[in-house]
Structure 1
């Protein structure tokens, strides 16, 4: 059968995406109007098809090619080629090496104490701010900006992880990476930024040069064996015989991928809990039961925080940090039991993660926040690809396990100490900015669960 979709426009689809408020919302609209498989126009893609049914997605899960034109904006960050679109034969070994580190418990445990320190430092700052108000109303007068503070925390955590805590000035690394992201992602999403275009480009180039030099210093120390405190990631790449420039590019892409995602996931979770105080109270009770008087969990405690895990998963269902993914077919692809959808070679296939997560066939009343959707029984009753916050197949996120550890740790530290409430009349609007961002941040008032 022909794949349904809107009539092509002379502008190549730019107007339709803009009118919807971004590609993530456009895909929701397309699937609501045309069904589980939709063809549509997209700038940078000759032909595009979006698939929102988890069963039909199974036939695409093996694809190991990304559409190069859609990832061109990342090319300036790399010297050995854009790692987001490396060929499948090269990508496979590289991915296996990354997973051997990023998905491994030893690496998570090794960095857990430092992650806890960083999360606690943020909690201490918020507690000091909240404590300035009298006991009758312990809410902070000044709302916290969740995305601002939590993405800064997530970048500090990934710098510690990727660089082994060996950076003399981690604050400068964080600032430099922000300059690079503001320039390159700002071009892609037309984000307003101070200074002239030339000034921003010059600042971004200087920041990129600093980041490369910083990573090169760490790589050189690993190769010489001079460092006792080593980066698991760089150590594995050095041991595998990767050349220094490729090691540097790998560290850079990991910092890029992890920079916003964890902080954004935690921000949306706190946003939802602030609007569902009964759920938040249950999370607090679980934390009190598992942690007792301790302010932060040990690594082994995370497995016992089962309700917190369900809350995080439901949050990433409603607000997936990455709202979509994309692959390119290398041969003709047939979807459906009878192959009723024929997708030609060279087609960009979109995984509209947000639309998959809002599919009412698998998520009754999908707009509702219901953590109990993720009990073992409920999970087993759904198709495997009904929940795909980290993508699917050989191009799914290598750092997924690490991201979940970080997010659950940060949530445990914050929710053990604080209650979060939405700021009245502050509108939270999801927008696409590499991740599913909030247009004007997520501002919330913070109060202490118990006086300190």
Structure 2
């Protein structure tokens, strides 16, 4: 294809002109901008994005079929993570290296034994939050508290008992928050990255790396239990991954799990606060399955309506609202030719709001995820954890965490919105609320 042919083919894809930055800012983030683009131009849209030669967004599940096989991500979009990873950017490693690394992660993150091993501690951490909420005298900031809870859960999961020694637990949480505030802030604030904040973040990152190195050294001193596939650090070490790669992998999993699980639960509670009849139905299921006891791992498979509620919440407020791949060769998406090197956006939230697959898409309706409608739906119509070889390795663990947190909290409380408090979804690496989600709590009688 000549340069003239390439230009003609590219401009045949509908989409806006301009530099993209002003439009994205005016929309309140890329996820909102993608919603607007697809509403105006259709299922396949090209759009300008600074630093990216060509960008196209695809919001039709059928048209995503060829994209799902791609195992490459655009370097430019994940460059902000590079300072956190000494062993190379784990988010953009090439396919040959990524496939075996992903296989090791899935062997632990998707394994039932690892979920069962940590489940009781997850419940205890959640009960601690519930006790604190019960003693609070005012509204609760859901995303602040639940993100900290999910960080504590993933620390317990990824670091094991080693993270709780002495004052380490509190310092790990504080250090991770420092790193997140600084490095993720650089995505959205032009003046971030200098001064005292940058110095503190560098020190916090050094502390986190030293903590993981210490825990890894302890694992190497102690023989691993034969057949124990529930320990992330030990599994990475047994697979021959070098220390820097293990450390970066653990920190990256903590980063991803910290935000996504916390915001998924907070958006679910926000929706239940607006739909008390649905919340009561979840509470009735919990009472039937659990009675007066705390949840156990084996109970989750019986909490079918709770899972439907969580799934519908993640459809409406997808924690990671979009993903991206890079075309490694010339390809076609529908009738449009896509040149190699094109950044292909997967606008998960726009896909989840596509009325062709989701009638009345703005309505909160957990029954969409009953067995019959779910079986009839296209497999790429619902993508809360992405798709293909770059889909989220921690999806199964995230669902376990979110379901148990919801089970504990809904059994204990009714949630009511704070009158007059605006809840505006914005993009802050994940789908955040601009001024948190604030709710009133009342005890739920059992």
**TM-score scaled by length of structure 2:** 0.94
Where does residue 135 of structure 1 map in the other structure?
Answer: none
Where does residue 187 of structure 1 map in the other structure?
Answer: 186
Distance verdict in 2 for CA 1:286–1:276, change over 3 Å? same
- Preserved CA contact (<8 Å) 2:327 2:344: yes
Output aligned runs, 1:266-305, within 5 Å: 266-294=265-293, 296-305=294-303
1:257 lines up with 2:264 in the alignment: no
Q: 1:157 aligns with which of 125, 134, 153?
A: 153
Distance (Å, rounded) in 2 between the aligned partners of 1:147 and 1:365: 27
Aligned partner of residue 420 in structure 1, secondary structure: strand
- Preserved CA contact (<8 Å) 1:165 1:231: no
Distance (Å, rounded) in 2 between the aligned partners of 1:68 and 1:197: 24
Q: CA deviation at 1:189?
A: 1.6
Q: CA deviation at 1:125?
A: 1.0
- Preserved CA contact (<8 Å) 1:164 1:231: no
1:356 lines up with 2:357 in the alignment: no
Q: CA deviation at 1:57?
A: 0.7
Q: CA deviation at 1:166?
A: 1.2
Q: 2:341 aligns with which of 326, 340, 346?
A: 346
Q: 1:199 aligns with which of 196, 201, 205?
A: 196
Where does residue 330 of structure 2 map in the other structure?
Answer: 332
Where does residue 138 of structure 1 map in the other structure?
Answer: none
Where does residue 40 of structure 1 map in the other structure?
Answer: 47
Where does residue 26 of structure 1 map in the other structure?
Answer: 33
Output aligned runs, 1:120-269, within 5 Å: 120-129=127-136, 141-167=137-163, 168=165, 169-190=168-189, 197-225=194-222, 232-269=231-268
- Preserved CA contact (<8 Å) 1:164 1:230: no
Distance (Å, rounded) in 1 between the aligned partners of 2:297 and 2:236: 26
Where does residue 5 of structure 2 map in the other structure?
Answer: none
Moved more, 158-167 or 319-328: 158-167
- Preserved CA contact (<8 Å) 1:103 1:401: yes
Where does residue 386 of structure 1 map in the other structure?
Answer: 381
Distance (Å, rounded) in 1 between the aligned partners of 2:191 and 2:340: 38
- Preserved CA contact (<8 Å) 2:113 2:230: no
Distance (Å, rounded) in 2 between the aligned partners of 1:153 and 1:427: 24
Q: Deviations over 1:38-97 (max 9, x none)?
A: 000112211000000011111100000000011110000011101010111000000011
Aligned partner of residue 42 in structure 1, secondary structure: coil
Aligned partner of residue 142 in structure 1, secondary structure: coil
- Preserved CA contact (<8 Å) 2:415 2:442: yes
Aligned partner of residue 41 in structure 1, secondary structure: coil
Q: Deviations over 1:355-403 (max 9, x none)?
A: 0000000000000000000001001111000000000110000000000
Distance (Å, rounded) in 2 between the aligned partners of 1:197 and 1:428: 31
Output aligned runs, 1:364-379, within 5 Å: 364-379=359-374
Q: CA deviation at 1:192?
A: 9.1
Q: CA deviation at 1:242?
A: 1.1
Q: CA deviation at 1:317?
A: 0.1
Distance (Å, rounded) in 1 between the aligned partners of 2:189 and 2:260: 20
- Tell me the C-alpha RMSD between the 2 structures: 1.6
Unaligned ranges ≥5, structure 2: 1-8
1:4 lines up with 2:14 in the alignment: yes
Unaligned ranges ≥5, structure 1: 130-140
Where does residue 61 of structure 2 map in the other structure?
Answer: 54
Distance (Å, rounded) in 1 between the aligned partners of 2:239 and 2:39: 47
Where does residue 137 of structure 1 map in the other structure?
Answer: none
**TM-score scaled by length of structure 1:** 0.93
Q: Deviations over 1:302-339 (max 9, x none)?
A: 00000000000000000000000000000111122xxx
Distance verdict in 2 for CA 1:432–1:158, change over 3 Å? same
Distance (Å, rounded) in 2 between the aligned partners of 1:237 and 1:248: 10
- Preserved CA contact (<8 Å) 1:159 1:165: no
